[in-house]
Amino acid sequence: MATYGREAEVSAYLESVTTQEIPSTLFEVILVDQNDRIDLGPIIERFRDKLNVVHVKLSEKGASLARNAGLRIARGDLVAFPDDDCEYYPDTLARVLQCSLANPDVDIFHGKIIDRKLGKDVMRPWPNESRTIDIHNSYYFGSAIALFVKQYEGMHFDPQLGPGKRFGGYEDVEFVMRNVRAGRQAMYWPEIHVLHPELNRHVMSESKAFSYGLGFGAICRKHISIPVLYLFSKSIGFHLFHTAKALVSFNWRGLRTGIVAITSRIVGFFSYSSADTIR
């Protein structure tokens, strides 16, 4: 777990992990702490007798950098990348193990992000049947929150991408795209459930929205192919339509949002370079 700027949420996640149906001796929690003002020590101490928590301090900011730091010391056969404001249900890890044992040839599992209390899918409608993840649909099954991956030598996230960096999003989508293109088998398994708060993109700052758009353009450039160019064109077309709609209805906020979405994706596509990062 990469974490920055959160305390209560980290405590809630650790609490959720103590409720797992499998013994705590079967897993470890690697907390990669990038805080410079918040002290997570007291929170971690409360769980010392319940969980094996490895606390790593990292001064440089970046979600991908933090995940890579955690991967370098992870000892498990399976690795997860929870956000610092998500929670696991009591059966989350048990279902991950069940899925892994039932599908020995699959390397990457993606679960469903759902609020069970409300009976509502979070972020997007998730299918109710399992699916193979390929380059055509990897964009829709690339949320780090619900990823569980069999460890392999050299596993990493692109350090140029993700929160804390200029290309501020889609590092998890890029991770899935890259692994699928490398021939690793990936599957969406709807029985695996993870809880995360619903995202309200309408309150996202303009700078953050631009950074996320840069990330989208970057991954399309990095994995340029006919399916990915189709995805890029589809995204630009979607935002062009809504921008035009905002213009004719004199919705100036919507117009500005659309312009940010379009320009950031185009700038990200043409400005990203993978020359200085491992692939």
Q: At what angle do helices 226-248 and 252-271 cross, to 10 degrees?
A: 160
Segment (H or E) for 181: helix 171-181
Cα–Cα distances in Å, from 35 out to 42, 55, 58, 116?
14, 12, 8, 31
Q: Are residues 91 and 210 in the same domain?
A: no
User: Residue 4: what residue type?
Assistant: Y
The pLDDT assigned to 278 comes to: 46
Report, in this order, helix, strand and coil percent for the chain, each rounded to 5.
45, 15, 40
C-alpha to C-alpha distance for 218 and 177, rounded to whole angstroms: 12
Q: How many Cβ atoms from other residues are within 10 Å of residue 201's Cβ?
A: 11
Closest by Cα among 144, 146, 108 to 127: 146
164: left (phi over 0), alpha (psi -120 to 50) or beta: left
What's the angle, vertex CA 261, arms to CA 256 and CA 262, rounded to 5? 100
Q: Which two tokens stand for residue 213?
A: 């758009």
Number of domains in the chain: 2
Q: 144, 80 in Cβ contact below 8 A?
A: no
The pLDDT assigned to 279 comes to: 40
Q: Are residues 132 and 262 in the same domain?
A: no
CATH number at residue 150: 3.90.550.10
Q: In this structure, is residue 279 part of a structural domain?
A: no
Q: Taking the chain (279 residues) in consecutive chunks of 10 residues, what is each chunk's mean pLDDT?
A: 94 97 96 93 94 93 95 95 96 96 96 96 95 94 95 94 93 96 96 88 79 96 95 96 95 94 97 66
**Chosen domain end from 153, 173, 195:** 195
What DSSP character marks residue 139?
A: G
Segment (H or E) for 194: strand 186-195
C-alpha to C-alpha distance for 8 and 11, rounded to whole angstroms: 5
Q: Are residues 179 and 92 in the same domain?
A: yes
Q: Are residues 25 and 137 in the same domain?
A: yes
Hey, which residues does 108 pair with through a beta bridge? Answer: 149, 186
Q: Are residues 21 and 154 in the same domain?
A: yes
Q: Are residues 81 and 206 in the same domain?
A: no
Report CA Rg, the chain.
Answer: 19
The pLDDT assigned to 205 comes to: 86
**Chosen domain end from 195, 222, 237:** 195
pLDDT in tens, 94-142: 999 999 999 999 999 999 999 999 999 999 999 999 999 999 999 999 8
The pLDDT assigned to 201 comes to: 58
Domain that holds residue 248: 202-271
